[in-house]
Amino acid sequence: MQEYSSQAAYDRGEAVCVIGAGASGLIAVKNLRENGFEVDCYERDTVLGGLWNPQNQHSPLYPNTHLVTSRSQTEIPDFPMPDDWPDYPSASQMLTYLTAYAKHFGLSEHIWYGSEISAIEPVEGSRFEVVVKPAAGNAARRLRYAAVIVATGHHWSPNLPSYPGLDQFRGSVLHSSQLKDPSRLRGKHVLVIGGGNSGADIACEAAVNAASCVHSVRRGSWHLPKYLGGEPADYALARLGSRPKFLRRFLTDRLLKGPASLAARMGVAAEGRPSAEEPVRNGRYMEHVGDGSIQRRGEVARFDGFDVSFADGAEMRPDLVVLATGYRPKFTSVEPRLLGIEGDSPYPKLYARMFSPRMETLAVAGLVEPGVGVLPIVHWQTHAIAHWLLVRKSDPERAANFRVQVRSESEQDTARPAGSSPRHQLAVDAEVYLASLGRIIDTLEQEPAK
Amino acid sequence: MSLAAWVRRARTPAPAPVKREYAFFEPADLFDLDIKDDPEASPVLCCTGDPAGASAFNALWLKRIATSGRYAAAVSVRGQGNTPAAEGGLEARAHDLVQAAVNVPRQAVLIGHKEGAAWAALAAGRYPAAALVLVSPEKVPKQPPTPVGGPPVLIVVAESETQSKEAQTAADAYGITPLTFAGSRDDVFKGAGAEGLLDAILSWLASKKD
């Protein structure tokens, strides 16, 4: 323990520690402040905005990243985006938006940049000792907090697949997050691996910039254009939720009939009901498949010198391979046990997808893939977390009842069959999850019985 | 704002965007060395039911608010002043007010006059205002949404209308006693009465540390 400047921890009393100043972290800080908490937010990078900031060294942005969910479904509920912005704002607009949010609510003064959390240790029952390691040389500091909210996101640690011969491949291989500049695609024969949103987007970039583009996907997935019936697709589908139940199925099928038959024609359709997992939202992809500028192939079997062989026996010689294979959740500071991470799976098991199953005062914000905009979900999550911390302080009896409710909510949640791919471990049905969040918030906001 | 209210709003068509007239005045614009911008004080955003919109506040309000060290702004909602008319009722006007509020550099105090009070009341249900001030409120819903973030609320009415139904509804809705000011509810924009009213509002804001 010589590396620490002092053994004694500085006690921050009732203050709450938020880890990460990305979108989720900023929303957490604002909602906690609104409920009267002192907050210290630690960001290991030197900028705010998390994944939306290209200056962040872990930023996953690729050329021409845009939102895949529309503005009205993605904006923070109490801080709408300017209504003259496009339906699908770009990454730089998202950064402008988050910066404005931080400035509007005066969040920057609570953020400590360049401070990585190296460890979180439970002490004195429900409190935490946090070890903060500044990036620039200084000795680590120890502080004690009443609660910790982890908002480190799950789009920064690349998921790199292994293929036979990949390490001896003679062309260049990049993960989607390393492809910062679209000019790297120009004139190249490009192979894009991965059928998610980033894979489809990068394949579309390569379709117009590269000499040729082959898109390798392991399996079909559900594709959705960005507009349906003259409206942003997610809005059009969400709106059906307010229709009577007997009409909903019929109207949804009618709305999805065109895109579904197009997907079947292009051979990209997934098996099973479309709503089972998060769709790929891209309006241009089908057009590029249709005009041949994207060639779809199956799974890659192996790399061999300059060549790549596919599972169906076809071969190609790409100049550039882009691995759009997504990210794995990674927690560097918290002991995995506290988040319910057990065995080999990197995916935590949390109560209601936010509360630690072990510690009452540890929560995670934004670790869901709801298939709709994440920002509003995080807003309601942190709203619930802030109210939970208030209730816990003021009324232990209600707090105990609440724990029971949250546990039963999460049991309902895990009873549902999980998505078919490991990537969909974090997926939730937005409708169901929001209803569950609504019940949680209602319980927490009830006037205490006197 | 409750989660259910947000879900409902996210699933109804958003009002058509309009280019809003937005007037603002900063303490630095006064060219007065004695007046310093107070970074702790919340900016103020005003709106009125008067058809003149934002320009009604140019005569006295914006400068006087800026004199207290606050950033002062006013907005014309659809159909007022230089903002083009567009479809939409109360909700769309509240939307205009919220859109203006998020453009203010920091968390803003909402001041609504006459019908503007109803828009401000709705806007405070979806934007965490630093404080909510309703001046001679009109058409405020019987059950306005609970203001998000629990801001302090002030209702100010003219002496002549303390007994009026509109004022009573608003006062009951928020469960507070209105403050009264001398003069008529229609000359709140200039004259001695207006100055007294504005000073009362500003000193209330200062006492709430917003």
Position A317 scores a pLDDT of 94
pLDDT at A409 over 60: yes
Q: Token pair for residue B56?
A: 């009604």
Residue A370: predicted pLDDT:
81
- What mean pLDDT value characterizes chain A? 87
Q: What's the pLDDT at A419?
A: 46
pLDDT of A84 reads 93
Q: Torsions phi, psi of A222, nearest 5? A: -80, 120
In the structure, what pLDDT confidence band is assigned to residue A21 with cuts at 50, 70 and 90? Answer: very high
- CB A172, CB A185: distance < 8 Å: no
Q: What is the pLDDT of residue A2?
A: 43
How is residue A162 annotated by DSSP? -
Give the pLDDT of residue A1: 41
Task: Please tell me the predicted confidence (pLDDT) of residue B210.
Answer: 63
Q: What pLDDT, on the 0 to 100 scale, is given for residue A6? A: 52
The length of chain A in residues reads: 450
Res. A444 pLDDT band, cuts 50 70 90? confident
Q: Where are the beta strands (DSSP E) in A229-274?
A: 231-232
What pLDDT, on a 0 to 100 scale, did the predictor assign at position A369?
A: 82
Residue A417 has a pLDDT of 46
Q: How far is A339 from chain B (nearest CA, A)?
A: 26
Task: Give the residue from A81, A309, A368 showing the smallest Cα distance to B98.
Answer: A81
Q: Out of B4, B107, B127, name the one closest to residue A438 (CB).
A: B4
Residues of A in contact with B104 (CB under 8 A): 104
A92/A103 Cα distance (integer angstroms): 16
Identify the residue among A74, A78, A383, A433 best suited for mutation to test binding to B, counting B beta carbons within 10 A and taking the highest: A78
Which of A104, A108, A379 to mutate to test binding with chain B, by most B CBs within 10 Å of its CB? A104
With contact defined as beta carbons under 8 Å apart, do A138 and A118 qualify?
A: no
Region B55-84: what's the mean pLDDT?
92
> CA–CA distance from B173 to each of A210, B97, B168 (Å)?
63, 21, 8
Contact residues on chain B for A390, CB-CB shorter than 8 A: none
Instruction: With CB atoms and an 8 Å threshold, state whether A72 touches B14.
Output: yes
Per-residue pLDDT tens over the stretch A194-206: 988 999 999 999 9
pLDDT score of A307 more than 70: yes
Domains of chain A: 10-157+328-445 (3.50.50.60), 166-323 (3.50.50.60)
Backbone angles phi, psi at A308, to 5 degrees: -125, 130
Q: Which of B38, B77, B95, B102 to mutate to test the interface with A (most CBs of A within 10 A)?
A: B102
Residue B75 has pLDDT above 90, yes or no: yes
pLDDT in tens, A108-146: 999 999 999 988 999 877 899 999 988 777 788 899 999
Of A394-408, A416-430, A433-447, least confident by mean pLDDT is A416-430
Averaged pLDDT for residues A16-30 = 96
**pLDDT for A422:** 58
B134, pLDDT greater than 90: yes
Residue A412 pLDDT exceeds 70: no
Q: How far is A248 from chain B (nearest CA, A)?
A: 14
Query: Span A333-362, mean pLDDT?
Result: 84
Cβ separation A104–B126 shorter than 8 A: no
Asked if pLDDT for residue A4 goes beyond 60, the answer is no
User: How far away is chain A from the Cα of B167, in angstroms, using its nearest Cα?
Assistant: 27
Structure confidence by residue, pLDDT tens digits, B155-178: 999 888 888 888 888 999 999 999
Chain B CB contacts of A78 below 8 Å: 1, 126-128, 148-149
Query: What value does the mean pLDDT take over residues A243-261?
Result: 87
Query: In sequence order, what are the residues at sequence separation of 6 or more whose Cβ sits closer than 8 angstroms to the Cβ of residue B103?
Result: A82, B22
List the end-to-end C-alpha distance of chain A, in Å, as a whole number. Answer: 49
- Percent over 70 (pLDDT), chain B: 99
Q: For A35, name the nearest residue in chain B, comparing CA atoms only.
A: B149
For residue A274, the model assigns a pLDDT of: 55
Asked if the Cβ–Cβ distance from B11 to A83 is below 8 Å, we say: no
Strand positions, DSSP E, B28-163? 44-48, 72-76, 109-113, 131-135, 153-158
Q: Does A238 sit within 8 Å of B106, measured CB to CB?
A: no
pLDDT value for A447? 64
- Is the pLDDT score of A403 beyond 90? no
Cβ neighbors of A158 (< 8 A, separation 6 or more) are A60, A175, A176, A177, A323, A325, A326, A327, A328
Q: What distance in Å separates the CA atoms of residue A256 and residue A225, rounded to the nearest whole number?
A: 10
Q: Which of A222, A176, A167 is nearest to A191 (CA)?
A: A176
What is the rounded average pLDDT for all residues in chain B? 90
Of A77, A241, A441, the CB nearest to B11: A241
Sign of CA dihedral A312, A313, A317, A321: positive
- The answer to whether the Cβ–Cβ distance between B4 and A84 falls below 8 Å is no
DSSP, collapsed to helix, strand or coil, labels residue A391 as helix
- Chains A–B, number of C-beta pairs less than 8 Å apart: 64
pLDDT at A237 over 80: yes
Which residue did the predictor score with more confidence, A112 or A414? A112
pLDDT at A88 over 60: yes
Alpha helices in A267-373 (DSSP H): 285-290
Q: What is the mean pLDDT of residues A33-42?
A: 94
Model confidence at A83: pLDDT above 80: yes
Q: Domain spanning B18-207: which CATH class is it, in words?
A: alpha beta
B104 to chain A, any CB pair closer than 8 A? The answer is yes
pLDDT attached to residue B65:
92
Name the residue among A444, A437, A382 with its Cα closest to residue A412: A437
Nearest to A83 among B4, B17, B128 (CB): B17
Q: Tell me the mean pLDDT in the region A306-317.
A: 93
Q: Tell me: the pLDDT tens digits for B16-62?
A: 999 999 999 988 888 877 777 788 889 999 999 999 999 999 989 99
The reply to whether B2 touches chain A by the CB within 8 Å rule is yes
% of chain A beyond a pLDDT of 90? 53
Smallest CA–CA distance from B41 into chain A, residue = A106
Confidence band, pLDDT 50/70/90 cuts, at residue A420: very low
> In Å, how far is A228's CA from the nearest CA of chain B?
14
How high is the pLDDT of residue A414?
Answer: 57
Confidence class for position A3, pLDDT limits 50, 70, 90: very low
Whether A106 sits inside 8 A of B11 (CB atoms) is no
